[in-house]
Amino acid sequence: MDSKDVRPVTSSNSGESFSTAIERLDRALNRLDTSVRSLSGRLKSSTQLQAEGQRLSADRARLAGDLDRATARADRLDQAADEVSRRLDDAMTTVRSVLEQGEARG
């Protein structure tokens, strides 16, 4: 409540002065309650944002681990493919050699 909201009670009727003061107090309490609720909502939002940030960070760490494992597996598969290719090349060379020797004999 600002100082401009505070008005002295100057009515000549004390009953009217008291009810006016009660009304002003009630309005001030309502504004205070609204402000507290708004602040509470913002704090909850902030807490929710922090929790979401922590969840995103955990997801990121999990995904980074998954990516590392997938990359390692891809590297192993590449190495295995290179080995298979080398063995196939060796086998084809051996088959050609055997066929050439058979044709030469025969």
The model's pLDDT over 68-88, given as tens digits with 9 standing for 90+, comes to 999 999 999 999 999 999 999
Count other Cβ atoms within 10 Å, centred on residue 20: 15
Residue 22 lies in a domain: yes
Residue 3 lies in a domain: no
Name the domain count of the chain. 1
The DSSP output letter for 9 is -
Q: Is the pTM of this model over 0.75?
A: no
Residue 2 lies in a domain: no
Q: Which two tokens stand for residue 49?
A: 């944002």
User: CB-based burial of residue 21 (10 Å sphere; 0-12 exposed, 13-18 middle, 19+ buried)?
Assistant: middle
The model's pLDDT over 22-60, given as tens digits with 9 standing for 90+, comes to 999 999 999 999 999 888 888 888 888 889 999 999 999
Residue 18 lies in a domain: yes
Residue 1 lies in a domain: no
Chain centre to alpha carbon of residue 105:
73
Range of the domain at 94: 8-105
